[in-house]
Structure 1
Amino acid sequence: MQESTTRSSDGGAPALPLLERQRLHDTVVEHLRKFIVEGMLKPGTRLNERELCETLGISRTPLREALKVLASEGLVVLSPNRGASVYRMSESEIRETFELMSGLEAFSGELACERITAAELAEIKALHYAMLACRVQNDLPGYYSRNQDIHDRINEAARNTVLRQTYQSINRRIMAMRFRSNQKVEKWDRAVHDHEEIVKALEARDGKALAAILRRHLLEKRDAVLQMALDESRSADEAA
């Protein structure tokens, strides 16, 4: 079967096949989301389309399409005549979003303990050990990627479609802050300890224990993020 193609706007050579265009679209969205999560594009940053196009090796059309996706996820703000910027959450938004996420994580844990398979548990344990290796190597991006995979697998194991959709939507908005919450060594090590307890509760199929651990885990991240925001505000005031 041949892939469908579209004509370029000037009626010349065909544009990329639709399948290739979709792959490019997904790749651009993934790269931009990673830039935001890992702090290369910080909250409040105005996005320079020319620089981003050069960095990603793309034209402005796929970039703008990707920005619309990120805007729908609440990661980017599109303003008429001002372009795009990375969304900055207010203190109340941070507090309320993490509180909601703590409940979603806790409910995921309860259901996962009832429904997780042996194979799924084995995959989570493998991710946990890989995550620990990243901690030893001080590899925060690698650690965070596996960390998020673990939380995501627990949510998947809950086998609740509505919970899954809500979880993914809310989690995208705070991924960058979850990443930053581990930048201090003591916070990072505390998170590692929590994950060891998470695996133990999953193995025991102890839904109440896992729900309590996950709820506390997310609320501690909320407190760490709010403290970082306060520290940054104080530093900015002192520098002024």
Structure 2
Amino acid sequence: MNEHPLIARRSLATELTGRLRDMIVEGTLKAGDKISEPDLCDLFGVSRTPLREALKVLAAEGLVDLTPNRGARVARIAPEAVEELFPIMGMLEALAGELACARLTPDDLSRLETMHAEMIGHWRRGEWVPYSGLNRRIHEEIFRIAGNATLAGLYQNLMVRIHAVRFVARKTPERWAEAIEDHERMMAALRKRDGAALSTLMREHLRHKADVVHEALRQLGAPEQG
């Protein structure tokens, strides 16, 4: 008999939250999709109670819209939110890049070089999902190297609101090549420990990402309000 059913239930809900979040980021669940509780219960082999707890967490993060009597849908980000959030993200990433260059160790650079080379390989093979995962990890690694917990916390709080569209928005071949060029230039700045250059490049990189997200929202038919 389980002596701590509440702890077990919370642990299951936490695991489900992570898995559903990954499904949204990877595009398995797309913006605007209705979320079928019976299908997900069958998929994960769980009851509706922990699943609904997980959906409430994702709703608080802004990834899911919960409507009484209408169920849950994957949230869409409004164009206005992109205009507000991406410049802030750009400034946070710029500061992280500058701090990372000052703290970068040979081991840190080696890890980034390995991830970058692997990401380039996925790009050449047209493998979007693993590419986007490594893209995210590279940005997160730069924040880790920066060594500022407050900065990293602000970044993660904003990422919760935009990462579903930021990393799932499919790029045109031209936009994808542009992103690769951005990352090549970022790696060059890291190798030189040029914090000012990396700061400028990361702000520019976020402007490019904002353009991609706007294009994706137009393709999705995102509402202009909300």
**2:134 is the counterpart of 1:164:** no
C-alpha distance in 1, partners of 2:12/2:105?
A: 35
**2:35 is the counterpart of 1:42:** no
Counterpart residue number, 1:227 = 215
C-alpha distance in 2, partners of 1:203/1:181?
A: 29
Counterpart residue number, 1:92 = 80
**2:3 is the counterpart of 1:5:** yes
Matches within 5 A, 1:92-111: 92-111=80-99
* Preserved contact between residue 63 and residue 164 of structure 2 (Cα < 8 Å): no
TM-score (norm 1): 0.84
CA-to-aligned-CA distance 1:48-74 (integer Å, 9 cap, x gap): 211111122221122112112212221
- Structure 1 gaps of 5+ residues are 8-14
Counterpart residue number, 1:71 = 59
**2:52 is the counterpart of 1:54:** no
CA-to-aligned-CA distance 1:166-208 (integer Å, 9 cap, x gap): 1011112222222234431111111111111111111111111
CA-to-aligned-CA distance 1:80-108 (integer Å, 9 cap, x gap): 33332222121101221111111111111
* Preserved contact between residue 181 and residue 221 of structure 1 (Cα < 8 Å): no
User: Which of these residues, 203, 210, 214, is aligned with residue 215 of structure 1?
Assistant: 203
- Which secondary structure does the structure 2 equivalent of 1:134 belong to? helix
AA aligned opposite 2:83: R
CA-to-aligned-CA distance 1:128-168 (integer Å, 9 cap, x gap): 01111111221111111111110000011111111111101
Residue 21 of structure 1 and its aligned partner are, at CA, apart by: 5.1
C-alpha distance in 1, partners of 2:215/2:73?
A: 24
Please identify, of 147-156 and 46-55, the stretch whose mean Cα deviation from structure 2 is larger.
46-55
C-alpha distance in 1, partners of 2:170/2:93?
A: 18
User: Which of these residues, 137, 160, 172, is aligned with residue 184 of structure 1?
Assistant: 172
CA-to-aligned-CA distance 1:23-66 (integer Å, 9 cap, x gap): 53343122211221122222222322111111222211221121
* Preserved contact between residue 90 and residue 203 of structure 2 (Cα < 8 Å): yes
C-alpha distance in 1, partners of 2:11/2:117?
A: 31
Change over 3 Å in CA distance of 1:118–1:22 after alignment to 2? farther
* Preserved contact between residue 135 and residue 143 of structure 1 (Cα < 8 Å): yes
- Structure 2 gaps of 5+ residues are none
**2:147 is the counterpart of 1:149:** no
C-alpha distance in 1, partners of 2:10/2:99?
A: 34
TM-score (norm 2): 0.89
- Which secondary structure does the structure 2 equivalent of 1:78 belong to? strand
C-alpha distance in 2, partners of 1:215/1:182?
A: 20
Identity over the aligned pairs, expressed in percent? 41
User: Which of these residues, 95, 103, 118, is aligned with residue 115 of structure 1?
Assistant: 103
AA aligned opposite 1:6: H
Please identify, of 142-151 and 166-175, the stretch whose mean Cα deviation from structure 2 is larger.
166-175
Aligned residues: 222
